[in-house]
Structure 1
Amino acid sequence: MSQGTVIAAVDGSVESQAAAQWGAREALLRGLPLHLVHVWQDWSPGFTHAPLTGADTAPGDTTITRHWAEHVPHDVAERVREGHPGVHVSVEQVFGRPVEVLLDAAKKAEVLVLGSRGLGALGGILAGSVSLSVIAHAERPVVVVRAGERAEDEKQPGDGPIGRARYLDVVLGLDLTRPCDELIEFAFSAAAARGAALRVVHGWDVPIVFGHDPEAVDPGHGVAMGLREASVLTDVLRPWRGKFPEVDVKEQCVVGGAADHLVDASKDASLLVVGRRVRRSAIGPRIGPVTHAVLHRAAAPVAVVQHL
């Protein structure tokens, strides 16, 4: 399997089925194959419960669990093939620890797709610690798709048949203190593949003023700062406009924390793209507060791209 592959993790849940369907659509857009990975863990000799089947097995007896596990990826693959006959779909079942298996798979992927519960009774949570761990460690882009995500959710409403309707904007959250080529290129490529506009959102804060500096307290000072931020954003994006002339770029500099603005932008976006800076802490890799917030609250699929 080459790196030019879209990989989706499946486990039989509605979240993972949405991820597989999104992965198929992405594979079509990119002209790539789709590879479905199912991780199976043998929980014996303890008491086990076969997911979705509701069937319990006695200690040491994993017959039902194994039967269910063996059918999961193939059943999902059949649904994907029915809905997307133009996509080459392959299936792999791997025995092991989910985080380790998925991180290894991500190394071979153009993009790894995971399912999410999206907004729920608890205010929006990812589908378990596995997704967060994979996102925090993956070396390749990871896309998180909420349960119930449909193809029509990514298209302009009332714009003709769904197959020919225009895509909603791709939204990129960009920190100008450390703009990353990999992050920007992913967002431009995603917009180009969809024939969509790229909306680049940069959030900045007005510095807290101490003392009585007339220039600092002048309302015009904030306006000047905003113009400078907008100018820097334009400069950063200029070479990428040249590489992707077909992409309509919308620049948006906003005052205040980026997370709230990105979550709001995701309501009418086909894809939200954010970065994950490579940094270590005493408790291990982190995904950053903005990325963490949008993963929990965004209405659109979220692509997380690692960068230095």
Structure 2
Amino acid sequence: MPSTSTSAGRTGAVTVGLDGSPESLAAAEWAAREAALRGAPLKLVSVWEPVPMAARAAFLGEESRDHWSGRIPAEAAAGVRESHPELDVTADQSTGRPGEVLARLAEESALLVLGSRGLSGFRGFLVGSVGQAVLAETTSPVVFVRAPEDDGAGGGEKNIADGPVVLGIDAHEPDDVLLRYAFEAAARRGVPLRVVHVWSLPPYFAYGLPQDPVLDAELAKQEAAALTEVLAPWRAEHPGVEVAEAPTVGKTADVLVEAANGAALLVVGRRMRRAPFGGRIGSVAHAVLHHSTAPVAVVPHN
């Protein structure tokens, strides 16, 4: 049954990490809409990483330092207040290593939103070292947002805010935190939820065996039934959410990236497992982040 106590249900602000780039400004606008949907305050933060005094004097200057440390969040906040006057918006500046500071802020927030640069000539994101460090350490959901790109006609990227929410889960190892986040995201937006469960056919070719269509059909039936069973209590808890079940054969990351085309949000999970050298993002989340054209929410879970 759905759990009522989850990290995805924390209270608090929607926090945005800003660096003045078009990507972070797009993240601020996305986060403002999300905060309005949640009825939550919006916090805009830039992180100034200390540099040696000699380098600061040679390359930065006080005016440049003031711009990066103070003007960026202040100017972004002014823009957000103009377009979203109903929001409680604060602007702040912190000093330290960006990955560490943002990971700490994520723990204090309902949601952390970061911008991510589009890969030139390709679909998807380029997730930098700061974003990866935050993802690996935080137990709070993190959303990555791309800046709009020119579509060749000067109109920018198509607005996909009204598309469905897409959730990727393993129907055999479902997690309440991930399911609750996706159902609530769809309910807030008033859009359908498409739940994708990816499974694989037996490795016929590896064993030199011919494909068995009858067995394939039976496996497909079983996988579809497993997904339906997982979603049943969540459908009952969220009767207003239109749910489309999509049990699919294939490679998980590829299927999710394709399913996210035109989506308002793609939701994927990250298991909170500690490795000898720190946290890990997970191969599916890592691949999806680098190739999805939709905003991606990475939700940590056990």
User: TM-score, normalized by length of structure 1?
Assistant: 0.86
- After TM superposition, give the deviation of residue 175 of structure 1 in Å: 1.3
> In 2 relative to 1, CA 46–123 (structure 1 residues): closer, same or farther, beyond 3 Å?
farther
Instruction: Work out which of the residue numbers 212, 237, 250 in structure 2 matches 1:243.
Output: 237
2:38 maps to what in 1?
30
Greater Cα shift, 279-288 or 193-202: 279-288
1:60-209 matches, cutoff 5 A: 62-68=61-67, 69-121=69-121, 124-148=124-148, 153-155=159-161, 167-209=162-204
Instruction: Work out which of the residue numbers 262, 279, 294 in structure 2 matches 1:268.
Output: 262
Q: Which amino acid aligns with 1:136?
A: A
- After TM superposition, give the deviation of residue 281 of structure 1 in Å: 3.0
> In 2 relative to 1, CA 190–152 (structure 1 residues): closer, same or farther, beyond 3 Å?
farther
* Identical-residue share of aligned pairs (%): 47
- After TM superposition, give the deviation of residue 65 of structure 1 in Å: 3.0
Contact 1:44 / 1:62 at 8 angstroms: preserved in 2? no
Offset from partner CA, 1:195-238 (integer Å, 9 cap, x none): 0000001110012247799xx95311111001100001000011
- After TM superposition, give the deviation of residue 151 of structure 1 in Å: 10
SS, match of residue 126 in structure 2: coil
1:259 maps to what in 2?
253
1:162 maps to what in 2?
none
> In 2 relative to 1, CA 97–212 (structure 1 residues): closer, same or farther, beyond 3 Å?
closer
User: Which structure is higher in RCO with an 8 Å CA cutoff and minimum separation 6?
Assistant: 2
Q: Which amino acid aligns with 1:66?
A: R
> In 2 relative to 1, CA 200–279 (structure 1 residues): closer, same or farther, beyond 3 Å?
same
> In 2 relative to 1, CA 291–36 (structure 1 residues): closer, same or farther, beyond 3 Å?
same
Contact 1:174 / 1:274 at 8 angstroms: preserved in 2? yes
Instruction: Work out which of the residue numbers 4, 14, 30 in structure 1 matches 2:22.
Output: 14
CA–CA distance in structure 1, aligned partners of residues 208 and 286 of structure 2: 37
Contact 2:172 / 2:226 at 8 angstroms: preserved in 1? no
Which sections of structure 2, spanning at least 5 residues, go unmatched? 1-9, 150-155
Correspondence 1:229 to 2:223:
yes
Offset from partner CA, 1:99-132 (integer Å, 9 cap, x none): 1111111111111000000232577553520001
Aligned length in residues: 285
- After TM superposition, give the deviation of residue 298 of structure 1 in Å: 0.4
Contact 1:271 / 1:303 at 8 angstroms: preserved in 2? yes
Contact 1:34 / 1:88 at 8 angstroms: preserved in 2? yes
2:281 maps to what in 1?
287
2:13 maps to what in 1?
5
- After TM superposition, give the deviation of residue 62 of structure 1 in Å: 4.2
> In 2 relative to 1, CA 89–208 (structure 1 residues): closer, same or farther, beyond 3 Å?
same
Q: Which amino acid aligns with 1:244?
A: H
1:34-45 matches, cutoff 5 A: 34-45=42-53
RMSD of aligned C-alpha atoms? 2.2
SS, match of residue 58 in structure 1: helix
> In 2 relative to 1, CA 124–238 (structure 1 residues): closer, same or farther, beyond 3 Å?
closer
CA–CA distance in structure 2, aligned partners of residues 58 and 218 of structure 1: 70
> In 2 relative to 1, CA 189–80 (structure 1 residues): closer, same or farther, beyond 3 Å?
same
CA–CA distance in structure 2, aligned partners of residues 80 and 109 of structure 1: 19
